[in-house]
Each structure stands twice: as C-alpha cells, then as structure tokens.
Amino acid sequence: HMRILGLDVGSKTIGVAISDPLGWTAQGIDTIRRKNKEQDIELVHKICKDYGVETIVIGLPKNMNGTIGESGERVLALAELIKEKTNLPIEMWDERLTTVAAHRAMLEADLSRGKRKKIVDKVAATYILQGYLDKLRLSK
C-alpha cells in the first residue's frame, strides 16, 4: 500500500489531498494557511507521517507557452525544502494537464466567496493528485 500526497501551493494557502491506500482515488483533506516556510513544511511533514506517504505530487503552475514563471519558481523552491525535510520523492505535475483551471472557474461561479476560498485549494490539490494517479495507472 502506498499513499501519495498531492499539494496545490498558493501564496496564502496550500491545498492538500491524499490518495487511498491503493493509489486509485484522491480526496482533499486539508487547506494549510501559510504562515512561514518552516511551519508550512512542518505541517506537510506531519501529514506525511500521519498518513504514511511515500510520494508527494506538487502542482507546478506554468505559463501557457510552457515556461515556468515567478509562481512556478516559488513552488519549485518550496518543493526542494519539502524534499529535504521529508526525504520523500517529489513529482512535479504540470497543472495545465489537469482540469484545475476549468474546475476553479466552475467553483467560483457557484460558491459564495467565503466557501470558495476554503475549498478551492483542496479541490485543486485533488485534481492534481487524481491526474497523477490516472497517469500512473495508465502507464502500468
């Protein structure tokens, strides 16, 4: 059994999703309110230990032309720190391969602002992780 963690890293929050033990489905479990790097990473580390995580998948925002912009650089820097702290393999997942953007738009049309903020990161993390799990399954 291996559990995989999915992270959607934003400037104010980190959406967190976890796979089921068989690695089929992703479910959103938490939205971390970012305070500082040390504490953010400590929380991710704790979740990894609590769930017995073996791999971490982090959504990498890319520009439409495929280049990595400022937000992508920030995510990569945080990923490096998470890797040092957890000693776990980290996979970067191109967010453009997921339906994150479409679903964000749909959610935002539907939900009140307050509700939206709370779940959208978690939902994005779920889509990132689900996209990765589906690819793993297809490549087996």
pLDDT per position as a tens digit, 2-50: 899 999 998 889 999 999 999 999 999 989 999 999 999 999 999 999 9
Comparing 83 with 127, the larger pLDDT belongs to 83
Q: For residue range 86-138, what is the model confidence (pLDDT) as tens digits?
A: 999 999 998 876 656 656 666 666 666 666 666 677 888 998 999 999 898 88
The residue among 43 and 62 whose pLDDT is bigger is 43
pTM metric for this prediction: 0.86
b/e map 81-94, b = 16+ CB within 10 Å:
ebeeebebebebbe
Distance separating alpha carbons of residues 45 and 84, to the nearest angstrom: 10
Query: What does each C-alpha distance from 87 to 81, 83, 117, 127 come to in angstroms?
Result: 10, 5, 31, 24
